[in-house]
Amino acid sequence: MIHAKAIEKNAHCQTRQSSVHPHIMSTQLPHAHSPKQKAALTENPLIANLKHVHSIIAVSSGKGGVGKSTVASNLAVTLAKQGFRVGLMDADVYGPSISKMMGGKDAEVLQKDNQLIPVEKYGVKWMSMALLTDEDTPVIWRGPMATRLIQQFLGQVAWGQLDYLIIDLPPGTGDVQLTLTQSISLQGAIVVSTPQEVAVEVALRGIKMFDEVRVPILGIVENMSGVICTHCHQETPVFPQGVVKAKANELGIHYLGSIPLDPSVAIAGDQGQPISLASGPVATIFSDISSKMVAQLQEIEARTTEATESPTQISSDEKHVLLMWKDGSVSEIPFFDLRLACPCANCVNEATGKRMIEAKDIKQGIEPVGFRPVGKYGLQISWNDGHNTGIYTFNSLRSFGA
Ligand code: ADP
């Protein structure tokens, strides 16, 4: 019996399937036919490289130019000032500005044991693709290239022991976001928006994407909320006030704080000395934002420690995928039913929810050839008919066996 309704769709897997690199990420199922045999899940090399990183936080925005990199760099510096071990990864491949903002435009990237050594400045270990390319040479980053670069930054930079790895994402919801959420487990995302209604609307799309892939939204930061006059130092609102806060409240998302449009923020960024390095009103705001973020993460961690729905074992017999859950129960899901219930956008119409694959479309002897855990929320299955874009959430898999 197929519980198709319980299967949650993953809206991303159709349009951007080219960004999945099975040779790196697929976990082969070595003995799919031995009865009740455990399929060993080989360790994802990206996850292995990040195993000493406690929390990975994405900083995202709907649009460019809203101050996302400014927030990412200041947050990193602030956390380092607070005594945390911090990394900052510039994943904004289309407009990398971290190296400039962190005052290391000309820093040399060293290699050791086939790994890139991150630059260390202001107590933050950081890496940007701007260090690897010639500034004057325009790089046209097509999806697969950006994907490879992100995988390299995740898997081949010697991040070492970190409390927080802050990732500065490109604006929007493209290949980089997909690669990240499919490759590693993000502990949370911060969304940066300016106060204009249109910017807030665009930011919401990003929030929706993180929701879909079960990345908790730690909160929204409002940037450029009003102008600080350089003479009287008073703040004048430029855009309608309260839009971001109201939206955050409506969605049940934390409003982490608002940063004024202050020329000293831009100057500090241009000089490669994030404003939070020194004390001052904006540094205090960032300190408050980072404390709220840390508190949020701790709360989420406490809530999810027990509740994580990932299976403790994934294996198969001749006809079923077998999933053992934390409580000891086992879901026995027939290959055929699982293939038919594929939630990817090739198999389910994203707009109508109508299933496009039918039983007659499924080949005789269908069976999985590879499993790959995706973040903390699901399992990507590669099939012997060549299909591999379906990411089944753990919750949906659990409901199969009910
Ligand atoms: P994004 O990463 O969203 O593209 P950036 O962080 O690069 O945006 O910011 C774009 C420009 O705006 C930069 O020159 C930056 O210094 C400036 N900027 C960002 N936030 C502020 C602010 N609160 N006040 C003044 N300038 C800002």
Domain boundaries, the chain: 4-36+317-400, 47-307
Bridge pairing between strands 124-128 and 378-383: unpaired
Pocket test for ligand 1, best of 61, 70, 221 (most atoms within 8 A of CB): 70
Q: Flag the least confident range among 100-109, 119-128, 141-150.
A: 141-150
DSSP string, 141-155: --HHHHHHHHHHHHH
68 lines ligand 1 (CB under 6 A): yes
Least Cα distance to 203 among 243, 168, 172, 167 occurs for 172
CB-ligand 1 contact for 179 (6 Å cutoff): no
Neighbour-count burial for 234-253, b at 16+ CB within 10 Å, e otherwise = ebeeebeeebbeebbeeeeb
Candidates 3.30.70.20, 3.10.20.30, 3.40.50.300, 3.30.565.10; CATH matching 47-307? 3.40.50.300
* Dist. CA 171 → ligand 1 center (Å): 13
Six-digit token pair at 221?
């930061």
Euclidean distance between CA atoms 10 and 17, whole angstroms:
12
Count of beta carbons in the 10 Å neighbourhood of residue 40: 13
Residue 366 has pLDDT above 60, yes or no: yes
Indicate whether residue 62 lines ligand 1 (CB < 6 A): no
Query: How many Å apart are CA 125 and CA 80, to the nearest integer?
Result: 10
Taking the C-alpha atoms of residue 151 and residue 166, their distance in angstroms, rounded to an integer, is: 15
Provide the 3-class DSSP secondary structure of residue 136. Answer: coil
pLDDT above 50 for 354: yes
Lowest mean pLDDT among 95-99, 139-143, 256-260: 139-143
CB 82 within 8 A of CB 164: no
Express each pLDDT in 297-351 by its tens digit.
Answer: 988 877 665 555 788 888 899 999 999 888 888 899 999 999 999 987 778 776 6
| Token representation of residue 219 | 């909160």
Q: Is the CB of 151 under 6 A from ligand 1?
A: no
Ligand 1 in reach of 91 Cβ (< 6 A): no
- pLDDT of 308: 58
> How many Å apart are CA 102 and CA 90, to the nearest integer?
11
Atom of ligand 1 nearest to the CA of 64: 4
Nearest Cα residue to 287 out of 248, 265, 259: 259
Q: Is the CB of 64 under 6 A from ligand 1?
A: yes
Q: Express as a percent the part of the chain with pLDDT over 70.
A: 83
- The confidence score (pLDDT) of residue 289 equals 97
pLDDT of amino acid 401:
55
Structure tokens at 361: 């479309």
Q: Which atom of ligand 1 is nearest to the CA of 92?
A: 2
Sheet holding 320-324, edge to edge: 37-38, 313-316, 320-324, 330-334
With 50 as the cut, is the pLDDT of residue 352 above it?
A: yes
Beta strands 217-228 and 255-261 are parallel
133's CB contacts (< 8 A; 6+ apart) are 139
Spatial contact of 375 and 213, defined as CB atoms under 8 Å apart: yes
The structure tokens listed for 325 are 């859950």
pLDDT of residue 201: 82
Write the pLDDT tens digit of every residue in 283-301. Answer: 999 999 999 999 989 888 7
What value does the mean pLDDT of the chain take? Answer: 81
How do residues 1-55 score in pLDDT, each as one tens digit? 222 222 222 323 332 232 222 222 233 333 333 333 333 444 577 878 998 999 9
Reading the block at residue 288, the tokens are: 């408050």
Of 28, 101, 14, 2, the closest CA to residue 384 belongs to 28
> Measured between alpha carbons, how far is 38 from 164 in angstroms, rounded to an integer?
34
What pLDDT was estimated at residue 349? 73
pTM for the full predicted model:
0.72
The pLDDT, as a whole number, for residue 58 is 96
Nearest to 20 by CA among 372, 376, 346, 335: 372
207 against 320, higher pLDDT: 320
pLDDT exceeding 90 applies to what percent of the chain?
Answer: 43
- The amino acid sitting at 314 is I
- For domain 4-36+317-400, which CATH number applies: 1.10.630.10, 3.30.300.20, 3.30.2020.30, 3.90.1150.10? 3.30.2020.30
141 Cα to the center of ligand 1, angstroms: 22
- Specify whether the CB–CB gap between 231 and 278 falls below 8 A: no
Q: What angle do CA 255, 71, 226 make, to 5 degrees?
A: 65
